[in-house]
Amino acid sequence: MTKARGVRLDLKRALAVTLVGLAGAVGALVFVLWLAGSSDAVDVKLGDPDFRGIDAADLAAEIAERGPVPFPDLVGRDLPIWVTHAGDDPRVGWSAFSARVPGSDDCLVQWDPEGSSEDSPGMGAFFDDCDPATTWPADGAGLDALAWTVVARDDGPELRIDVSGAAGGSGP
């Protein structure tokens, strides 16, 4: 009479297959990690090079009523900014600049509506939060400026601020 036998397990063969599979997986992981860190040829830049979608008329009215508007870091590059506006026309008169004190990684520029600087007495002023005696005028002159532009749209002018790292200058 024939006896039924169950599945026979060869322990040595099972261990060998397991070790080869494990070594292959570890080798593939090491190879992928090496590839990921071996080159800077791929420079991924997501999003727009400018901060857009700002209704220029609304922001100009907000600034006229409450003063300059701060925006926290917008692009993950440690770039908080201040935006201010002068005049009645939302298509011109903008100033956008870094909220970092020039030459400092730790100090930020703050707004004091009661403060004044040599260039703007009694109009409010920006100051260094590490050294409050250091001030800048209400338009941010002397701080790291960011380029801006106003684009005409059907629903009103749109303010765009270049946050790509190119500093200097102003819009139209």
* Residue range 60-74, pLDDT digits in tens: 999 999 899 998 876
Read off the amino acid at residue 129: D
What pLDDT was estimated at residue 14? 85
Closest C-alpha to 53, from 164, 165, 166, 156: 156
More confident position, 10 or 1: 10
**Residue 44: band (very low, low, confident or very high) from pLDDT cuts 50, 70, 90:** low
What pLDDT was estimated at residue 151? 92
Q: How far apart are CA 83 and CA 60, in angstroms?
A: 10
Q: How far apart are CA 87 and CA 91, in angstroms?
A: 10
What are the two backbone dihedrals, phi and then psi, of residue 7, each rounded to the nearest 5 degrees?
Answer: -65, 130
Closest C-alpha to 73, from 138, 5, 163: 163
Mean pLDDT of 140-162: 91
Answer whether residue 168 shows pLDDT above 60. Answer: no
What pLDDT was estimated at residue 73? 77
Mean pLDDT of 127-141: 90
Partner residues linked to 141 by β-bridges: none
All structural domains of the chain with their residue ranges: 50-162
Q: In the structure, how many helices (H) and strands (E) does the chain have? A: 2, 9
Question: Mind giving me the DSSP string for 132-161?
Answer: TT-EE-TT-TTS-BB-EEEE--TTS-EEEE
Share of residues in the chain with pLDDT > 70 (%): 78
